[in-house]
Amino acid sequence: MTTTEQQTEQRTARRPWQDRHADDLMASYAPPLRLLVRGEGCWVWDDEGRQYLDFLGGIAVNSLGHGHPVVVEAAGRQAASMVHVSNYFATPAQLDLAERLKRITGAGDAGRVYFGNSGAEANEAAFKLARRTGRPRILALKNAFHGRTMGALALTGKPALQAPFLPLPAGVEHLDSTVEALEQALGDDVAGLIVEPIKGETGVVPLPEGYLQRARELTARHGALLIVDEIQTGIGRTGAWFDFQHAGVVPDAITLAKGVAGGVPLGALVTFGAASDLLQRGDHGSTFGGNPFAAAVANAVLGEIERADLMGNASRRGAQIHDAVSAIGSPLVTEVRGRGLLIGIGTLEGAAPAIAAAALDEGLIVNAINPTSIRLAPPLIVGDTEVSAFADRFERALAVAAR
């Protein structure tokens, strides 16, 4: 090591992590809340040895929590063999995952899978799929979130996120989340409609009862694609593999990411029926997409969700958490929304950030997604210990925030 390198290293060792983050990382995120150094199950530890119950799960990503033996085994085994080969080659892990995704989505024999590495990429693929219908108009919903890349951002119905980056890809119209708005907007020039069944980034707000069924009828009548963004709601979180399955509809395509590989980056577009023939050779691609490492971990995660009935667990624990929050009876809490282990807690105007901050001090990670909503998206493996630890800590946090 040169003297300059040694000096740099010594300086680095002494600088607080907050300063290092501020100096070295792009300023696009808020300052991080803690420096996390270790995880186990539903728990994480910071650099000062404090323990936290992780009820955000890396934003609905850590389906099996932290350090799950099934993930550790699959990752180790695949990494010891091949991490990546490019899409010039197939791998058993990729083929198995595509087959499995067709089965659990219900896409069946006519279904097809495109692999990317994130939610935004899955939605970019869905956007290109819709363009391939040759129709000019794409419908999306106001206040829905579909990702931050330019195409996904064009789909995202949040003008404040879009404003600094105009112009975005054209042709996207944002509707109110009502059947009437959809009836008015649909025509034979519409390529597709993309919806989140529960708007996660808007505070866990489900679509109105019956909306998906009517959207299916109306899009079918006009030959438009129904695309369901299951990136946050999918992979067992709401008590079914995918939230659209509760509504009993068959979409033309869904996108998934977040929880599918337990934290390893992987996204996918899954098409059903005739939509499977829209993308042609050369239309799209990704260097990393569907690599054997991510695919092997995803196979292991999905296998474990099935084996351990974590969808059933999500329904049961979700109901317990719902009841526990209601039972606290805090004047700050106005309602509890969501399905399974995707839960939004409505709060009095402006109270959510103070509640989340108080929770963190009590050793509980939750997320104030906006001034009136707390989001919970814990690992699907939560058990009695975690639910009661949550209830105790959240009650204390609400009491602190109410002062």
Indicate the residue among 147 and 344 with the shorter CB distance to ligand PLP: 147
We find the least distance from the C-beta atom of residue 381 to ligand PLP, in angstroms, to be 20
Catalytic hit among 258, 272, 288, 293: 258
Least distance from ligand PLP to the Cβ atom of residue 120, Å: 3
Comparison of 135 and 146: residue with beta carbon closer to ligand PLP? 146
Which of 231, 301 has the CB closer to ligand PLP?
A: 231
Measured CA to CA, the distance from residue 119 to residue 327 in angstroms comes to 35
Contact 342, 315 (CB under 8 A): no
Angle between helices 292-307 and 69-79 (to 10 degrees): 150
Q: Which is catalytic among the residues 54, 102, 229, 244? A: 229
Does 390 qualify as catalytic in the annotation? no
The values of phi and psi at residue 298, to 5°, are -60, -45
Judged by beta carbon, residue 253 or residue 387, the one nearer ligand PLP is 253
| Smallest separation (angstroms) from ligand PLP to the CB of 121 | 7
Q: Least distance in Å: CB of 366 to ligand PLP?
A: 16
How near is the Cβ of 69 to ligand PLP at its closest, in Å?
Answer: 25
**For this structure, is 392 an active site residue?**
no
Q: Which is nearer to ligand PLP, 123 or 347 (CB)?
A: 123
Helix (H), strand (E), coil (C) string for the chain: CCHHHHHHHHHHHHCCHHHHHHHHCCCCCCCCCCCEEEEEECEEEECCCCEEEECCHHHHCCCCCECCHHHHHHHHHHHCCCCCCCCCCCCHHHHHHHHHHHHHHCCCCCCEEEEECCHHHHHHHHHHHHHCCCCCEEEEEECCCCCCCHHHHHHCECHHHHHHHCCCCCCEEEECCCHHHHHHHCCCCEEEEEECCEECCCCCEECCCCHHHHHHHHHHHCCCEEEEECCCCCCCCCCCCCCHHHHCCCCCEEEECHHHHECECCEEEEECHHHHHCCCCCCCCCCCCCCHHHHHHHHHHHHHHHHCCHHHHHHHHHHHHHHHHHHHCCCCEEEEEEECCEEEEEECCCCHHHHHHHHHHCCEECEEEECCEEEECCCCCCCHHHHHHHHHHHHHHHHHHHC
Residue nearest to ligand PLP (CB): 119
Q: Least distance (Å) from ligand PLP to the CB of residue 253?
A: 14
Positions touching ligand PLP (CB under 6 A) are: 118-120, 123, 145-147, 196, 200-201, 229, 231-232, 257-258
Closest CA to 124 of 357, 7, 289, 366: 289
Given the residues 55, 115, 127, 145, the one annotated as active site: 145
Quick one: 200 or 379, whose CB is closer to ligand PLP?
200
For residue 218, the minimal CB distance to ligand PLP (Å) is 22
Q: Is the Cβ of residue 204 or residue 300 nearer to ligand PLP in the bound state?
A: 204
Judged by beta carbon, residue 233 or residue 330, the one nearer ligand PLP is 233
> At closest approach, how far in Å is the CB of 187 from ligand PLP?
26
> Radius of gyration of the chain from Cα atoms?
22
**Count of all residues that appear for the chain in the document:** 403
361 tagged catalytic? no
**How far lies 148's CA from each of 33, 98, 123, 145, in Å?**
22, 25, 10, 9
Q: Which residues are identified as catalytic?
A: 145, 229, 258
